Amino acid sequence: MGKPAPYTSDVERILVTGAATRTGTELVRRLDRNANAEIIGVDEIAARIPTEFHQTRLDTLEFANRVVELAPTIVVHLQTSHRNVETIPIAAQTLLGALARLSTLGRLIVRSDLAAHGTGPRLPSVLATDTRSTGDSAPYERALRDAEASVTSFSDERPETTVTVLRFAPILGATIDNEISRFLSLRVVPTILGYDPSLQFLHENDAAGLLEHAIAHPIPGTFDVAADGQMYLSRVLRLGRRIPQPLPERQFRRAVRLLEPRNAGLPEHLIRLLRHGRVVNPSWDALGFPPEKNCRDTVLAGYGRGT
């Protein structure tokens, strides 16, 4: 089968998967201001967005057929949250299989996560884009790598489509309610005795703003994205006026399990992050997007002490 011919249109049809996430909802609202774009949201849970929305699982034939019917010119795939780790690579493969059947597609933007690098004591203090941990991986880290591998294969087969992968640091902000924000917002925060990891975060507005920018200014490649600067966990907790409770790792893991009924537990990849940390050199210059918030401002915003 020959490759689809390039497609051009005056009105873009933008498909956003993961539209029920905070980032997805904000992105859809921003895009809806553009009169020359038709925005369609998709997610497996209900969403309140001002545009057309389809509720369906992303790892099904029904979803693939829906994508083909919608014939988008731009796709923003945000379904890489760890809501259901097992479906991350399957959803990516399902989406890419559907997109391979389209001649309309001009741009594909995929949200990934810095967790694709892995974590471990042997990693460099500052990671390059192609740095990978060689040790054991958490399920979420493996799922991200499998999804990224599928995206890379798709990009190789579709050179006429601009494919951008954005690896986000954990997102914080005044309206964000995710696993790391809930954990760090505890009045007394368990920490691992003997470890004070360096961390990076990304402000919720910069996350949505960068996705909007990537749609308007397509740049192929894979990019690490985090607010400028880094911060030790101890400093994060001081800024949030939280009380750290250092525990041996076994007791730390037990405390995390006890927090699960309060919806404040942590998946394995975040436990490893709070042990070893992770720092990257953000790709802002390559992307041509200046973030509004640095790491400190982002942490303050996550604690409701900034905008």
Give pLDDT tens digits for 82-108. 567 888 999 999 999 999 999 999 999
Where residue 53 sits, what CATH number does that domain have? Answer: 3.40.50.720
Query: Average pLDDT of 225-237?
Result: 98
Measure the CA–CA gap between 38 and 289, rounded to whole angstroms: 24
Does residue 218 form part of some domain? yes
Annotate 221-277 with DSSP letters as a single string: EEEEE--SS-EEHHHHHHHTT-EEEEE-HHHHHHHHHHHGGGT----HHHHHHHHH-
Of the pLDDT bands very low, low, confident and very high (cuts 50, 70, 90), residue 81 is low
Give pLDDT tens digits for 122-163. 899 999 999 998 888 999 999 999 999 999 999 999 999 999
The answer to whether 20 and 46 are in contact (CB under 8 A) is: yes
Does residue 189 form part of some domain? no
DSSP 4: P
Total domains in the fold of the chain: 1
Average model confidence (pLDDT) for the chain?
92
* The pLDDT of residue 291 is above 50: yes
Give pLDDT tens digits for 168-207. 999 999 999 999 999 999 999 999 999 999 999 999 999 9
Does residue 183 form part of some domain? no
State the pLDDT at residue 84. Answer: 78
Does residue 260 form part of some domain? no
Half-sphere exposure of 184 (CA within 13 A, CB side): 31
State the pLDDT at residue 6. Answer: 39
* The pLDDT of residue 294 is above 50: yes
Q: Which domain holds residue 93?
A: 12-173+201-226+280-288
Does residue 90 form part of some domain? yes
Does residue 120 form part of some domain? yes
Supply the pTM of this predicted model: 0.93
Does residue 274 form part of some domain? no
The answer to whether 291 and 227 are in contact (CB under 8 A) is: yes
Output 219 or 305, whichever has higher pLDDT. Answer: 219
Does residue 153 form part of some domain? yes
State the pLDDT at residue 83. Answer: 66
Closest CA to 90 of 103, 102, 101, 77: 77
